[in-house]
C-alpha cells in the first residue's frame, strides 16, 4: 500500500472505501450476501466468540451461504457474551446474545435463510456518533 | 525573592526554597524523618515518604487553601503563600503518622544500638507519644550481617536515605526498595545477603540511617574478652581521623583534637601497648610513593606497559568498589596495603619477633573511623595460618562506648604519648584522614625523592578542598605531575571512567569512598547530616599536621629505623612480602533467566 | 411479522411469560401462527416500563403490556395495522406517544462517543476505520489548524481526564506545549487497574486507531514526535491490535515521517507494565517506563515540565484520547453541548454487580444513577432491593438510595464522597455487607500500595486490621473512632492519589452505613449474612428429631446430644457448641428437617 500523502487523498480514500463497503453490504444479490460481525474483545473471546465464529463459518459453508464475517470490538453486552450482529440486506441489523453452536445454527437456518426470528435478540440500547 | 508567611511570620526567601528551609530561616522547627541533607556534598534525600513534616498550606498559589497537607521538605514556596506548621490539624496528622510508624517498629529501645542517636526516638519524644494506639502485624525480615554491617529491617522506616546514599552518592547499587505495600523494605536485589551483593561495605548507609535498621557489627565484647585474657598481649592502633572525632561523643565541639586523651583512655581500658596507625601511614607513603615514582620513571623512559595513573589503595571501601566495578583495571591501583593492614603485618611479624611474642598470643585491635575496615581485616589474604594480621576493628563510636562503660570521660583524661616504636608519626600521616591528604603526603615525599631536592613548600593547598572531584598540576622541579582526587564513590566512578575512556590523563589519583574522606567515615560519631561537623574535623586534621615537628613521612626516624633494621628498602623483597597485596575480580554477573 | 417479547428477569417477573403464551394461543386461534412469529428476547434494559413488546418490522414499541392487552394488540395492530396508542411509550417531556423506539428518549440515555467504533468496525482493518472517518481529524489538525488552535479546541470542548481525576485535558496539553524542548513525549496511560473496569481495554481492542490518531494529534499540539503507550502486559489482545494498528498506520504513512505531506513526524512505541495499580499514577508510570521502581514522586515537577527521561511529557488515559479525534471533527461546541455543568461529553462505565444487564455502557455526563441502574442496567437482579452503588473502584466510595437521583459528574461524585475514577460501577443489593465491602477494597489498596509513604504503607494496613477485627466480631466503638481518624489522616497526608483516595470506601461506608458498622460492633450482627464470624448456627430443639446426622457431618465435633426430647419425637435433640463451631455449614446441608438455621 502506498502512503497516503495528503488529507485530500485520505478523504478520497474514505469515499472509495465506504462505497466499497456499501457494495459489499448492498450487493445485487440480496439473498446471498449477509454480513455477520462477531464481538471479539477479550471478554467475547473468553466467552467463546472465536469458537462460535469458526462454527458459523463452517456451517455457512455447509449451507452454501455467502456471508461476510468480520470481527469487531466490544458491543458492551457483557451479560450476553458471545454476541454477534447479523445484518441481512433489507433488514435492520440484529444483535444476538448468548450465541453457542446451537443458537448459531438456528440463526443461520432460521433467521438468515428464512427470516424467522430466533431467541436471544439483544435490543441495541445506545446511539452511536458516526 | 518571594514573600511567604509561615506561622504568621512574614519572610523573604529565594525562589526555589522549600517550606522546610524557609521555616528554618524563620527559626521555626518542623520535625522531619526521611529528609536528610549533607550540605555541600550534593546529597539531599527528600522522597517525601514519611509525611512527618506535613504542614497546612492555608493560602496556595491560587489564593485558596490546599486540599491536602503538604510535605514541607519537598514543597517549594510560592509568592504569597501562607503556611501553618503547627495547627491542630497538622499536629494530629503528624502524631498519627508517627504513631503509625511506631506501630510497625520494634520498641526495643533498651537494647537497640541506635538508642540515644535514634531520630525516631527523638521524634516520639518531641511529639510526646506515650502510647501506640494501633496494634497490628509488624514487619519481620531475616536479619543479615556482613562483616561490617548489621541489617535489621524490622526497624526500617523506609526513609530511603540508605538507598539514595548507596545508589546516587556511592553508585554502589546494593540497596533498593523491594516488595510492595506493607512488605516494602530496602534490601539488596532478590533479598540476597549483603555479602552476596555488590555492597562495598563503605557503611555510608549506616551513617545516614535514622534508626537502628542499619548499624555496625559490634566487636567490643570480643575486644574486652581478649583484654581479659591474661595469655594475650593486646595492642591497639588508632587511625588518623579518629582523633578529631572521638571527642564529639563526650560533648566536645566538633574538631576537638583528642589524640593524647585517646591514647590515655586506651591504656585505661587495658591495652598493653597503644600504637598509632599514623606510623604505618608514613610507611604506606614510603611504599606507595616509591611505587608511583617507579612507574613514572619507567613511563618517562618510554615503557609502554606501565599503568598510569597510580590509584591509592588505602581505602578498603574503594578497593572493594574497583574490584566490583573496574575488574579490567585491577593492575592500576597501588599494590601497597592500607596503613591498617601494614600495621597488622608489621606488628605480627617485625614487632612480635622483636618482643618475642608468639603470633597466636598477640591480639591486634584497630580503632577506625570506618566500617569497611572490619571487612578488610577479614580478607583471606591478610591471614597467616588462620590467624589474621588484625584481629578486631572497633569504630570510633564503639571505642566511645567502651570508654563510657569504663566510667571514663575523655574530657578528664590526661594527654599521653603513644608507645614506641610503632607510635611515632609525622604530619603527613595525620592528613590521611581527610580527602586529598594521602596524595598530599605522598607528594611531600615523592617530590624530594624524585628531584633529590628539598620540597620548597609543605602545604599543597591546591590538593585540599571539599569538591567531589578535584585535580591539580604539581611541578616536580620542571616535571609537571597531574594529580586527581575523588571522594564519594560516584565521583570516583566518574573520574575513573574518564580515565578509562582516555579523556583525561593523570599520574596519580587519590580516592576515598566516604564523602569528605575518613573524617566522614561510617564509623565516626553520627553527624546527622550536619556537614559543618565534617568540615570542623577536616580543619582539625590539618591543624594537627601543622603542629607536628616532622611533616614528611620519609623523615620519620622510626620509619628510617624499620627500613634499616628490617625491610631494607621501600618496595624491596621483604616489603613486597609483608606490605603489598593483590586484588580480585568481584564483578560476578547476576543472570536472570528469561 | 415478528412479535418480540422481553424475556429479561424484570419483565419475566411482571408476567412476560403469560404474555407470550397469550400471543401464541390467540394467534393460533386466529390461524396466524405461521404469519406471525413470537420471540422472547434479551432484556431491553427498560425494566421500569416493562413488560415490553416490540412489533417488527415496523419497530412499534409497547410498554407496560399486561397479558390481557395481547388480544387488543393482535386485533388492532397485527390484523388491522393500527397502533394501540395507549400502550405506546409516552415521552415524559412532551407528553406525546412515541411508537418507534429509535425516537424514544430512553435510547438516548446511552450515547457512544468514546466507544463509537467499538463493535462497529473490524479493529484489525485500517480501511474500515478510514471509511468511518478515521485519521481525518489528524489531517484537519495538520492542514487547517495551528498547534495552539488544537490545544484551544480541546480546552474549549471541556474534555477532562477520564482516568479519574478529571483534569482539563486542553489545559494539560497547553502546560506541556509551553515547555518547548527538542524531545517531548505523548504518553498514553493504558495501565487500567481498577478492579472491574475494562473500558480502556475495550477501546484498544475495538478501536485502536482512535488512540493512534489522538496521540498523533496530541503530539502535533504539544510539539512532540514520540508517542509511548504504557500498557499492562495482561492485555495481550489489546497489545496485538495496537501493534497491528500502529503497523498499518505506518504503512499508510499516518505515522512516521512527513505525515500526510505536512512535514509532521510522529511515531508510537509500546511499553509494557507488569500490572501494578499504582503505575496508573502518572509519575509512577513514568518511573516504571524508565525501568525504575514504579512508585510515585511528588508533583511538582509535573510531567509537563519533567516527565519521561526528564523531558516534558503529556500523559492521558485511553478513554480521554478516544474522545479527541471526534472533538476535532465535530468541533468543541458540539462536544460541549453534551454533558453536564463542568463535565462535558460522555463517560464509559463498566456496570457490574447485582444488576441484570452487566455491561460496558457510555452515558452523557449528568445521567443519574437511577437511569443507569434501572433503565440501562435493567434493575437489580432477582428483583432484590437496591442497597448501594460503588463508583470509582478502590478510590471511590459507596453511594446509597439518597444519591440515586444525583446527576453524576466529577464534582457531584466527589461531593457525595466517591469519585468518578476510571469508571467502575458496582451495584449492590441487600446481600452485600458494607463493612465487608470496605474491607474488600482496602485489601486491594494494601496489596497495591507501593509502600513509599507511611500513611499508605502502614495506615491502610492498620485500617484493614481494624475492619477485619470488626467483621470478626471483635470491634469496639473506639475502633470506629480510630478508623475515622485514620481515614481522615491518610486522606490528608498520603503522597499520591492512590493513598489519598484509599480511605474513600471506608469513609463513605462509615458515613452512609454507620448503623451497619454499629450493628457489627455492638450487636455482633451482620445483617447481610456475609461476615461468617458473626453468624451462629442454631438447632431448633423442637424441630430436631435427634437423628444425629449433623453431629456426624460436623468436622469440628461441635454438635452433641441434649437431654430434651421434643414432643412427638423419640430421640433427644442435638445442640451446637458455638465455641467449637467453625461455621462451615455442613450441618445445615445435611439436615432434612430444616431444624438448623443461621442467626
Task: Say which CATH number the domain at B152 has.
Answer: 3.30.70.20
Mark whether C39 and C137 lie in a shared domain: no
- The pLDDT value given to residue C105: 56
> Is residue B248 in a domain?
no
Segments forming the whole domain that contains residue C549: 536-598
Query: Cα–Cα distance between C288 and C266 in angstroms, integer?
Result: 23
> Is residue B196 in a domain?
yes
Interface of A with C in 36-55 (CB under 8 A): 37, 39-43, 45
Mark whether C225 and C314 lie in a shared domain: yes
Mark whether C374 and C329 lie in a shared domain: no
Q: What is the mean pLDDT of residues B400-425?
A: 95
Choice among B381, B497, B564, B588 that is catalytic: B381
Cα within 13 Å of Cα(B30), Cβ side: 31
What total of structural domains would you count in chain A?
1
What total of structural domains would you count in chain B?
3
CB atoms within 10 A of CB C68: 10
Mark whether C138 and C159 lie in a shared domain: yes
> Is residue C187 in a domain?
yes
What is the SS3 assignment for B70-119? EEHHHCECCCCEEEECCCHHHHHHHHHHHHHHHHCCCCCHHHCCCCCCCH
> Is residue B351 in a domain?
no
> Is residue B374 in a domain?
no
Residue A26 has pLDDT above 60, yes or no: no
Query: In which residue are the cell numbers 580515565 written?
Result: B499
Residue C62 has pLDDT above 90, yes or no: no
Task: Name the residue among A6, A14, A72 with its Cβ closest to that of C120.
Answer: A72
All chains having 3 or more CB pairs closer than 8 angstroms to chain A: C
Asked which of B160, B186, B216 is the last residue of a domain, the reply is: B216
Q: What is the mean pLDDT of residues B129-152?
A: 94
Residue C482 has pLDDT above 90, yes or no: yes
Most confident of B30-44, B580-594, C40-54: B30-44
Provide the ipTM: 0.92
Mark whether B30 and B141 lie in a shared domain: no
The answer to whether residue A12 neighbours chain C at the CB level (below 8 Å) is no
Q: Closest-CA residue in chain C for A87?
A: C120
- The pLDDT value given to residue C106: 56
- The pLDDT value given to residue C539: 93
Mark whether C247 and C344 lie in a shared domain: no
List the one residue out of B358, B420, B421, B362 whose CA is nearest residue B389.
Answer: B362
Segments forming the whole domain that contains residue B195: 103-216
Mark whether B311 and B197 lie in a shared domain: no
Regarding chains A and B, contact by 3 or more CB pairs under 8 A is answered as no
- The pLDDT value given to residue A30: 45
- The pLDDT value given to residue B464: 95
Mark whether B438 and B537 lie in a shared domain: yes
Digit-coded pLDDT (tens) for A41-58: 888 888 899 999 999 999
Q: What mean pLDDT, rounded, does chain A reach?
A: 83
This prediction has a pTM of 0.89
Mark whether C390 and C248 lie in a shared domain: no
Task: Give B158's contacts in chain C (Cβ within 8 Å).
Answer: 451-452, 454, 457
- The pLDDT value given to residue C422: 86
> Is residue B512 in a domain?
yes
- Beta-carbon contacts of B428 under 8 Å, excluding residues fewer than 6 positions away, are B281, B282, B285, B440, B441, B444, B445, B545, B551, B552, B553
All chains having 3 or more CB pairs closer than 8 angstroms to chain B: C
Q: Closest-CA residue in chain A for C239?
A: A42
Residue B497 annotated as catalytic:
no
- The pLDDT value given to residue B593: 43
Whether C202 sits inside 8 A of A41 (CB atoms) is yes
- The pLDDT value given to residue A1: 61
- The pLDDT value given to residue B589: 54
Q: What CATH number does residue B468 fall under?
A: 3.40.950.10
What total of structural domains would you count in chain C?
5
Mark whether C32 and C57 lie in a shared domain: yes
Regarding chains C and A, contact by 3 or more CB pairs under 8 A is answered as yes
Mark whether C101 and C177 lie in a shared domain: no
Q: What CATH number does residue C228 fall under?
A: 3.40.50.11540
List the one residue out of C116, C108, C109 whose CA is nearest residue C203.
Answer: C116
Digit-coded pLDDT (tens) for B547-578: 999 999 999 999 999 999 999 999 999 999 99
Digit-coded pLDDT (tens) for B199-245: 999 999 999 999 999 999 999 999 999 999 999 999 999 999 999 99
Mark whether B190 and B48 lie in a shared domain: no
Residues constituting chain A: 130
Mark whether B80 and B107 lie in a shared domain: no
Which band of pLDDT confidence, cut at 50, 70 and 90, is reported for residue A31? very low
Mark whether C136 and C218 lie in a shared domain: yes
Q: What CATH number does residue B8 fall under?
A: 3.10.20.740
Q: What CATH number does residue A69 fall under?
A: 3.40.30.10
> Is residue A21 in a domain?
no
Lowest mean pLDDT among B118-127, B464-473, C111-120: C111-120
Asked which of C76, C108, C140 is the last residue of a domain, the reply is: C108
Residue A67 has pLDDT above 70, yes or no: yes
Segments forming the whole domain that contains residue A80: 28-122
Choice among B50, B156, B202, B314 that is catalytic: B314
Asked which of C295, C313, C333 is the last residue of a domain, the reply is: C333
> Is residue B305 in a domain?
yes
Query: Cα–Cα distance between B14 and B505 in angstroms, integer?
Result: 40
> Is residue C113 in a domain?
no
Task: Name the residue among C450, C459, C495 with its Cβ closest to that of B48.
Answer: C495
Task: Check: CB of residue B370 under 8 Å from CB of residue B210.
Answer: no
Query: Cα–Cα distance between C283 and C296 in angstroms, integer?
Result: 5
Which band of pLDDT confidence, cut at 50, 70 and 90, is reported for residue C93? low
Lowest mean pLDDT among B510-514, C65-69, C342-346: C65-69
Q: What is the mean pLDDT of residues C239-246?
A: 96
Task: Check: CB of residue C509 under 8 Å from CB of residue C465.
Answer: no
State the virtual CA torsion across B573, B575, B579, B584 in degrees, nearest 10: -20
List the one residue out of B240, B368, B376 whose CA is nearest residue B319.
Answer: B376
E strand or H helix at B158? none
Mark whether C188 and C326 lie in a shared domain: yes
Query: Cα–Cα distance between C162 and C321 in angstroms, integer?
Result: 9
Amino acid at each position: 500500500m502506498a502512503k497516503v500523502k495528503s488529507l485530500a487523498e485520505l478523504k478520497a480514500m474514505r469515499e472509495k472505501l465506504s462505497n466499497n463497503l456499501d457494495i459489499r453490504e448492498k450487493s445485487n444479490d440480496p439473498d446471498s450476501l449477509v454480513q455477520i460481525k462477531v464481538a471479539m474483545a477479550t471478554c467475547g473471546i473468553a466467552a467463546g466468540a472465536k469458537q462460535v465464529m469458526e462454527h458459523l463459518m463452517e456451517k455457512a459453508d455447509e449451507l452454501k451461504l455467502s456471508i461476510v464475517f468480520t470481527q469487531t470490538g466490544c458491543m458492551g453486552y457483557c451479560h450476553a457474551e458471545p454476541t454477534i450482529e447479523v445484518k441481512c440486506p433489507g433488514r435492520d441489523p440484529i444483535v444476538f446474545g448468548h450465541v453457542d453452536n446451537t443458537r448459531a445454527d438456528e440463526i443461520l437456518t432460521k433467521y438468515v435463510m428464512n427470516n424467522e426470528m430466533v431467541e436471544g435478540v439483544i435490543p441495541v440500547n445506545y446511539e452511536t456518533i458516526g | 525573592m518571594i514573600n511567604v508567611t509561615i506561622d504568621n511570620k512574614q519572610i523573604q526567601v529565594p525562589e526555589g526554597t522549600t517550606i522546610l528551609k524557609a521555616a528554618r530561616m524563620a527559626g521555626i522547627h518542623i520535625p522531619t524523618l526521611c529528609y536528610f541533607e549533607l550540605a555541600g556534598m550534593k546529597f539531599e534525600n527528600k522522597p517525601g515518604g514519611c509525611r512527618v513534616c506535613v504542614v497546612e498550606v492555608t493560602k496556595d498559589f491560587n489564593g485558596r487553601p490546599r486540599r491536602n497537607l503538604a510535605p514541607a521538605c519537598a514543597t517549594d514556596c510560592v509568592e504569597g503563600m501562607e503556611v501553618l506548621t503547627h495547627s491542630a490539624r497538622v499536629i494530629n496528622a503528624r502524631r498519627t503518622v508517627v504513631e503509625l510508624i511506631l506501630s510497625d517498629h520494634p520498641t526495643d529501645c533498651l537494647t537497640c544500638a541506635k538508642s540515644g542517636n535514634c531520630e525516631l526516638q527523638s521524634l516520639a519524644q518531641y511529639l510526646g507519644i506515650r502510647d501506640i494506639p494501633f496494634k497490628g502485624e509488624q514487619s519481620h525480615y531475616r536479619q543479615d550481617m556482613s562483616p561490617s554491617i548489621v541489617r535489621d529491617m524490622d526497624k526500617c522506616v523506609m526513609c530511603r536515605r540508605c538507598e539514595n546514599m548507596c545508589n546516587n552518592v556511592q553508585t554502589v547499587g546494593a540497596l533498593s526498595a523491594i516488595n510492595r505495600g506493607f512488605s516494602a523494605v530496602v534490601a539488596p536485589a532478590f533479598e540476597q545477603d549483603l555479602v552476596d551483593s555488590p555492597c562495598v561495605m563503605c557503611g555510608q548507609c549506616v551513617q545516614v540511617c535514622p534508626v537502628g535498621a542499619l548499624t555496625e557489627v559490634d566487636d567490643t565484647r570480643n575486644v574486652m574478652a581478649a583484654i581479659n585474657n591474661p595469655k594475650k598481649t593486646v595492642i591497639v592502633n588508632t587511625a588518623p581521623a579518629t582523633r578529631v572525632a572521638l571527642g564529639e561523643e563526650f560533648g566536645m565541639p566538633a574538631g576537638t583534637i583528642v589524640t593524647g586523651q585517646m591514647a590515655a583512655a586506651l591504656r585505661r581500658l587495658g591495652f598493653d601497648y597503644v600504637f598509632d596507625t599514623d606510623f604505618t601511614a608514613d610507611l604506606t607513603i614510603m611504599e606507595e610513593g616509591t611505587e608511583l615514582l617507579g612507574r613514572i620513571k619507567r613511563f618517562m623512559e618510554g615503557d609502554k606497559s606501565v599503568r598510569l595513573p597510580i590509584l591509592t589503595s588505602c581505602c578498603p571501601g574503594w578497593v572493594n568498589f574497583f574490584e566490583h566495578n573496574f575488574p579490567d583495571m585491577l593492575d592500576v591501583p597501588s599494590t601497597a596495603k592500607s596503613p591498617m593492614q601494614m600495621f597488622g603485618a608489621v606488628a605480627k611479624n617485625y614487632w612480635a619477633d622483636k618482643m618475642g611474642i608468639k603470633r597466636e598470643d598477640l591480639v591486634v585491635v584497630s580503632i577506625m573511623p570506618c566500617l569497611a575496615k572490619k571487612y578488610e581485616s577479614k580478607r583471606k589474604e591478610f591471614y597467616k595460618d588462620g590467624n589474621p594480621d588484625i584481629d578486631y576493628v572497633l569504630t570510633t563510636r564503639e571505642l566511645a562506648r567502651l570508654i563510657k562503660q569504663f566510667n571514663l570521660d575523655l574530657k578528664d583524661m590526661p594527654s599521653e604519648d603513644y608507645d614506641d616504636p610503632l607510635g611515632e608519626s609525622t604530619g603527613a600521616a595525620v592528613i590521611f584522614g581527610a580527602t586529598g591528604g594521602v596524595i598530599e603526603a605522598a607528594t611531600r615525599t615523592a617530590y624530594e625523592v624524585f628531584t633529590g631536592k628539598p620540597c620548597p613548600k609543605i602545604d599543597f593547598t591546591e590538593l585540599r578542598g571539599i569538591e567531589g572531584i578535584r585535580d591539580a598540576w604539581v611541578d616536580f622541579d620542571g616535571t609537571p605531575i597531574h594529580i586527581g582526587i575523588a571522594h564519594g564513590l560516584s565521583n570516583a566512578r566518574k573520574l575513573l571512567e574518564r580515565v578509562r575512556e582516555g579523556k583525561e590523563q593523570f599520574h596519580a589519583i587519590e580516592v576515598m569512598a566516604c564523602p569528605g574522606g575518613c573524617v566522614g567515615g561510617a564509623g565516626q560519631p553520627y553527624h546527622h547530616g550536619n556537614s559543618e561537623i565534617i568540615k570542623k574535623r577536616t580543619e582539625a586534621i590539618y591543624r594537627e599536621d601543622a603542629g607536628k615537628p616532622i611533616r614528611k613521612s620519609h623523615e620519620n626516624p622510626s620509619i628510617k629505623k624499620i627500613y634499616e633494621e628490617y625491610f631494607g628498602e621501600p618496595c624491596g623483597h621483604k616489603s613486597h612480602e609483608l606490605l603489598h597485596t593483590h586484588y580480585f575480580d568481584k564483578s560476578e554477573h547476576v543472570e536472570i533467566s528469561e | 411479522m415478528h412479535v418480540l417479547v422481553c424475556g429479561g428477569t424484570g419483565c419475566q417477573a411482571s408476567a412476560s411469560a403469560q404474555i407470550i403464551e397469550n400471543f401464541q394461543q390467540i394467534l393460533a386461534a386466529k390461524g396466524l401462527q405461521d404469519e406471525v412469529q413470537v420471540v422472547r428476547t434479551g432484556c431491553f434494559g427498560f425494566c421500569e416500563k416493562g413488560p415490553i413488546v416490540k412489533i417488527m418490522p415496523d419497530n412499534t414499541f409497547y410498554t407496560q403490556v399486561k397479558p390481557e392487552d395481547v388480544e387488543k394488540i393482535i386485533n388492532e395492530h397485527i390484523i388491522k395495522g393500527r397502533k394501540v396508542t395507549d400502550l405506546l411509550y409516552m415521552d415524559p417531556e412532551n407528553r406525546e406517544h412515541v411508537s418507534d423506539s429509535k425516537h424514544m428518549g430512553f435510547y438516548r440515555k446511552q450515547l457512544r462517543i468514546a466507544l463509537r467504533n467499538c463493535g462497529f468496525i473490524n479493529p484489525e482493518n485500517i480501511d474500515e476505520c478510514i471509511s468511518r472517518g478515521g485519521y481525518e481529524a489528524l489531517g484537519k489538525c495538520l492542514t487547517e489548524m495551528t498547534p495552539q488552535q488544537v490545544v484551544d479546541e480541546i480546552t474549549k470542548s471541556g474534555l477532562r481526564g477520564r482516568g479519574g481525576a478529571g483534569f482539563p485535558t486542553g489545559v494539560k496539553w497547553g502546560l506541556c506545549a509551553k515547555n518547548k524542548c527538542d524531545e517531548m513525549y505523548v504518553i498514553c496511560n493504558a495501565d487500567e487497574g481498577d478492579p472491574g473496569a475494562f473500558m480502556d481495554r475495550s477501546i484498544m481492542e475495538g478501536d485502536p486507531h482512535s488512540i493512534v490518531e489522538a496521540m498523533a494529534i496530541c503530539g502535533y499540539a504539544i510539539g512532540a514526535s514520540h508517542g509511548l503507550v504504557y500498557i499492562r502486559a495482561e492485555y495481550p489482545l489489546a497489545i496485538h491490535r495496537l501493534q497491528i494498528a500502529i503497523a498499518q498506520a505506518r504503512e499508510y504513512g499516518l505515522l512516521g515521517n512527513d505525515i500526510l505531506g505536512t512535514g509532521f513526524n510522529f511515531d508510537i512505541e509500546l511499553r509494557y507494565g507488569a500490572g501494578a495499580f499504582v503505575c496508573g499514577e502518572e509519575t509512577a508510570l513514568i518511573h516504571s517506563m524508565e525501568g525504575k521502581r514504579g512508585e510515585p514522586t511528588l508533583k511538582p515537577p509535573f510531567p509537563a515540565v519533567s516527565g519521561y527521561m526528564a523531558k516534558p511529557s503529556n500523559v492521558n488515559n485511553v478513554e480521554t484520547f478516544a474522545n479527541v479525534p471526534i472533538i476535532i471533527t465535530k468541533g468543541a461546541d458540539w462536544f460541549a453541548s453534551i454533558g453536564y455543568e463542568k463535565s462535558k461529553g460522555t463517560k464509559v462505565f463498566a456496570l457490574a454487580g447485582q444488576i441484570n444487564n452487566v455491561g460496558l455502557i457510555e452515558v452523557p455526563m449528568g445521567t443519574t444513577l437511577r437511569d443507569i441502574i434501572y433503565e440501562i442496567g435493567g434493575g437489580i437482579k432477582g428483583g432484590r432491593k437496591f442497597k448501594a452503588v460503588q463508583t470509582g473502584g478502590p478510590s471511590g466510595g459507596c453511594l446509597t438510595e439518597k444519591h440515586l437521583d444525583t446527576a453524576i459528574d466529577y464534582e457531584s461524585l466527589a461531593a457525595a464522597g466517591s469519585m468518578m475514577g476510571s469508571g467502575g460501577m458496582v451495584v449492590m443489593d441487600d446481600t452485600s455487607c458494607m463493612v465487608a465491602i470496605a474491607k474488600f477494597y482496602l485489601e486491594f489498596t494494601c496489596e497495591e500500595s507501593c509502600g513509599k509513604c507511611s500513611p499508605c504503607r502502614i495506615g491502610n494496613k492498620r485500617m484493614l486490621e481494624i475492619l477485619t477485627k470488626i467483621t470478626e466480631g471483635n470491634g469496639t466503638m473506639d475502633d470506629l473512632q480510630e478508623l475515622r481518624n485514620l481515614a481522615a489522616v491518610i486522606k490528608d497526608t498520603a503522597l499520591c492519589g492512590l493513598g489519598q483516595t484509599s480511605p474513600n470506601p471506608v469513609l463513605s461506608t462509615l458515613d452512609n452505613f454507620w448503623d451497619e458498622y454499629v450493628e457489627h460492633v455492638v450487636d455482633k450482627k451482620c445483617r447481610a449474612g456475609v461476615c461468617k464470624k458473626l453468624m451462629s448456627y442454631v438447632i431448633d430443639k423442637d424441630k430436631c428429631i435427634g437423628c444425629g446426622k449433623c453431629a456426624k457431618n460436623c468436622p469440628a465435633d461441635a454438635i452433641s446430644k441434649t437431654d430434651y426430647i421434643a414432643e412427638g419425637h423419640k430421640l433427644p435433640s442435638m445442640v451446637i457448641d458455638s465455641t467449637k463451631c467453625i461455621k462451615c455449614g455442613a450441618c445445615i446441608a445435611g439436615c432434612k428437617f430444616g431444624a438448623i438455621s443461621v442467626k
